[in-house]
Structure 1
Amino acid sequence: MKQLCTILMMLGLNVVVNAQKKTTIHLWPDTVPDESAAKHAAVVTPDTSNNIVRLTDVTDPILEVFPASSKNRNGKAVVICPGGGYAILAINHEGYEVAEWLNKLGYTAFVLQYRVPKKESGALQDAQRAMRIVRSRAAEWKLDPDKIGMLGFSAGGSLTARASTRYNEPTYTPVDKADSASAKPNFSVLIYPAYLDKGPGNSLTPELLVDAQTPPAFLFATADDPYANSALVMAAALRNAKVNVEQHLYPKGGHGYGLRTNNAAGATWPLLLEKWLVSIGY
């Protein structure tokens, strides 16, 4: 954590103070399921291009808690899944910066460091466990346990979609009382999601079990994003299942812009998402 905060400070990012004060929750108190490597802090890669801090080699998954201020707290929460191709986590760009924005709207934010690299099964276990921990401890953060959503970018969008459609699947042996809570997000937000079109002919990825019980979803992508088809096929599946879904396909912006306003797409989706959350009561 000390190394991470130092890098954030070197990059001049204003989330450093929050990053230093936040609470850290280790998802797995003892053995991490299906993990052979020893627990240790995530490794910060030397690549800080575009002012992005990239983490890898996550063997001890954690939730970093960013409580909303008592002045504007709305009793709702969002678990944030940064992207990075299931290889790294763009932890500040698609994690801390988003948490800071959500805090301003009154949401308590939880940034998830899920297992990477290339540990997709472990990542789903981490996402399910994270949702259960947040829901089981909702009173601690003055949250409504029925108003906890998940937001993901790129591979984090893939993970969010998987968590939102496979929440009833037992992927690990229960650890404690927290695992009696539901792993189902109350809503999902997929921002330039990837890997959702791995079915035949670029159709919906077979593991995504979309049905009428899938939570409401907001999707945003751009037409010039090479992964844009993921959002299109997921939105179509949700619509066909009669799920509350809102999709936006912006003309330009590419991929990986987060909410940084030097990209028009990055400046647009937060405004649209805020309106959608109000419209569905979250």
Structure 2
Amino acid sequence: MIQSMTGYGKSVVTFNEKKINVEIKSLNSKALDLSTRIAPLYREKEMEMRQMISKALVRGKVDFSIWIEKDASLDATPINSALVENYYHQIKDIAAKTGMPEPQDWFSILVRMPDVMSKTEAEVLTDEEWAVARGGVEQALQALVEFRKQEGAALYNKFSEKLDNIGSLLASIEPYEKSRVEKIRSRIVEGLKSIPEIEYDKNRLEQELIYYIEKLDINEEKQRLANHLKYFRETMNDGIGQGKKLGFIAQEMGREINTTGSKSNQAEMQNIVVKMKDELEQIKEQVLNVL
């Protein structure tokens, strides 16, 4: 069954004291348009994550984010006590040698000294942490795919309803089509009778009427439109990745409906054509969301 390109997925996984958040959103697009916001620790795995996303989602405008939340108490910058002690003794020695007074507020002076409050260790992404983070990406992708399936089912029902409506409208043309031929013939004959001074060949008139009526015949358009309706339904059941194909079929349906309208010189038939166009327009709007 078809899937929508609209979707949302989120997951939260934990590793030690870290909470790893993954969020993915997608909207319709002609191709895969992926933008990412990745925590610095995981940037070395960006290409791998992009491959995972492109394989799972195929198409759409996708926003992907992965970030880390830590316990604030565990993430506080440590004070380098050995360095503080070293600065303390240096300042006391300088004060003793020069006769300068020692600071009254030692703490405020010492914490502003270079490297006292700076982190020196660099975080390294371990295989164990990446396995957890990768699992979070997979969970978010799966949640988004499930969302797309649900949206796709809703689109399937919407399309089926619109196709049924077009089929019913197409069938409702037939009574008017049959009466139309006789009305055309009668109108032309009556028009000629109203001009008594004109003589005409009845056999030639009959031939011209047949030719004229054949030009207004819409049986081929009706048959092709019926085939397109059937093909649209079959394509919806072919699985994912049918969005562009469904768009092409909808365009062909529009051509047949337009031709039917141009050949319909009867108000009732033209009203039916307008209703078919309205139903088709709703299909065209929604088919842009199909994967």
Larger relative contact order, structure 1 or 2 (CA cutoff 8 Å, min sep 6): 2
TM-score normalised over the length of structure 1:
0.21
Q: Give the structure with the higher percent strand.
A: 1
Structure with a larger share of its residues in helix: 2
TM-score between both structures, scaled by the size of structure 2: 0.21
Q: Between Structure 1 and Structure 2, whose CA radius of gyration is higher? A: 2
